[in-house]
Amino acid sequence: MSDRITIELSDVSKFYGEVLGVNRISMSIGPGITSLVGPNGAGKTTLLNLITGLIRPTQGHVTVDGVPLSDVESIFRLLGYCTQYDAFPRGLTGIELVRGVLTVHGLTIREAHDLACEALSTVGLLDAADTRIAAYSKGMRQRVKLAQAIAHRPRVLILDEPLNGLDPMARAEVIALFRSWAAEGRIVVVSSHILHEVDVISDSIILMNHGYVVAEGGIHDVRQEVEEHPYQVLVRCDRPALLASRVFALDHTVEARIHPDARGLLVATKDPTALYRLVNRLAADEGLVIEAVQPADDDVQSLYDYLIGDEGGRS
């Protein structure tokens, strides 16, 4: 066991029959917080399931701390995984779930109980420990899954959309936990489909789309890339010239071109919201007839558009 633990993926692909899960991913993930960001279906869960051995790669291989995933008795001592699946064995209370899994690790019931209490209190769920999970709120279920993932004090924590369903207060608390774990030298991998949610806390970011890693690196590199990338929007309307004259008055417009068929304007802007607002105003005040407003960008741009949107959930 080395001091600095890493997850290594070499040329990993996963196909579900014909459907691509992830394609040819090679990377090394070290201690600290790494965020995996991408829209629905990007392949985040697939990648995390591959890292935790819940599915096997069609090609390539994965090791954690140099140990292959087939060595389950060693690997799952190192690894804790909070999955995206909102499912629990029927009829159990929070403590029963966490304690039960710990006894399967080989701990005595006493030891398991102590560790389970510790984990539940870490996530602020000790008061509800004896309540049935079926009666938990979404946020509590999210937290009991976290407790279950951390209870055996793993050095590698894989968390699939852990902030989902948490209110802002709980988010801040959980994010503080991620930071403290990272500060202890653990690997913390967090997935999200909202870049804003994780960018400030991440030491490193992996952007995924359609099964591919689109951008990877320190937050500054990735963020710069994201911010400098203008959106292209095609506005189909009856008076593109009028729209063009107004569009150039906007701060963030990079470029505006009248469409060859003269029935639309292609705008590159860093602030699409302002553009949409302008278009609406023109339609209302000056009777501009709008046929369609559509993103005209390539894949990466629409990905960015999606990711840095506040809601993150437009598509």
Chain positions contacting ligand ATP, by CB under 6 A:
16, 19, 21, 38, 40-46, 84, 193
State which residue, 274 or 300, has the beta carbon closest to ligand ATP: 300
State which residue, 154 or 312, has the beta carbon closest to ligand ATP: 312
Partner from other proteins, Mg ion, ligand ATP, none binding residue 312, C-beta < 5-8 Å depending on class: none
Beta strands 187-192; 19-29: pairing state: unpaired
CA of residue 30 relative to chain centroid, distance: 18
State which residue, 91 or 168, has the beta carbon closest to other proteins: 91
Residue 222 corresponds to which amino acid? Answer: V
Residue 290 corresponds to which amino acid? Answer: I
State which residue, 44 or 152, has the beta carbon closest to ligand ATP: 44
Question: Which distant-in-sequence residues (6+ apart) come within 8 Å of 116 by Cβ?
Answer: 95, 98, 99, 102, 129, 147, 151
- Compute the distance between CA of residue 250 and CA of residue 254 in angstroms, rounded to an integer: 9
Residue 57 corresponds to which amino acid? Answer: P
Partner from Mg ion, other proteins, ligand ATP, none binding residue 53, C-beta < 5-8 Å depending on class: other proteins
- CB burial string 153-179: b at 16+ within 10 A, e below: ebbbbbbbbbbbbbeeebbeebbebbe
- Compute the distance between CA of residue 187 and CA of residue 241 in angstroms, rounded to an integer: 54
Partner from Mg ion, ligand ATP, other proteins, none binding residue 46, C-beta < 5-8 Å depending on class: ligand ATP
**In the numeric block, which tokens belong to residue 299?**
């894949």
Shortest reach from residue 54's CB to ligand ATP, in Å: 10
Asked if 52 is part of the footprint of Mg ion (rule: CB under 5 A), the reply reads no
Partner from other proteins, Mg ion, ligand ATP, none binding residue 81, C-beta < 5-8 Å depending on class: other proteins
Angle at 37 between CA 7 and CA 21, to 5 degrees: 70
| Helix, strand, coil share of the chain (percent; to 5) | 40, 30, 30
**In the numeric block, which tokens belong to residue 117?**
């209490």
- Compute the distance between CA of residue 212 and CA of residue 21 in angstroms, rounded to an integer: 9
Shortest reach from residue 174's CB to ligand ATP, in Å: 18
State which residue, 88 or 231, has the beta carbon closest to other proteins: 88
Partner from Mg ion, ligand ATP, other proteins, none binding residue 148, C-beta < 5-8 Å depending on class: other proteins
State which residue, 131 or 164, has the beta carbon closest to ligand ATP: 164
**In the numeric block, which tokens belong to residue 95?**
């403590």
Partner from ligand ATP, other proteins, Mg ion, none binding residue 42, C-beta < 5-8 Å depending on class: ligand ATP
State which residue, 81 or 304, has the beta carbon closest to other proteins: 81
Q: In the complex, which residues of this chain contact other proteins (CB under 8 A)?
A: 16, 49, 52-56, 72-81, 83, 85, 87-91, 97, 100-101, 103-108, 115, 148, 152-155, 184, 186
Task: Return the bridge partners of 207, or none.
Answer: 37, 215
Partner from ligand ATP, Mg ion, other proteins, none binding residue 104, C-beta < 5-8 Å depending on class: other proteins
Asked if 45 is part of the footprint of Mg ion (rule: CB under 5 A), the reply reads yes
Where along the sequence are the contacts to Mg ion (CB under 5 A)? Answer: 44-45, 84
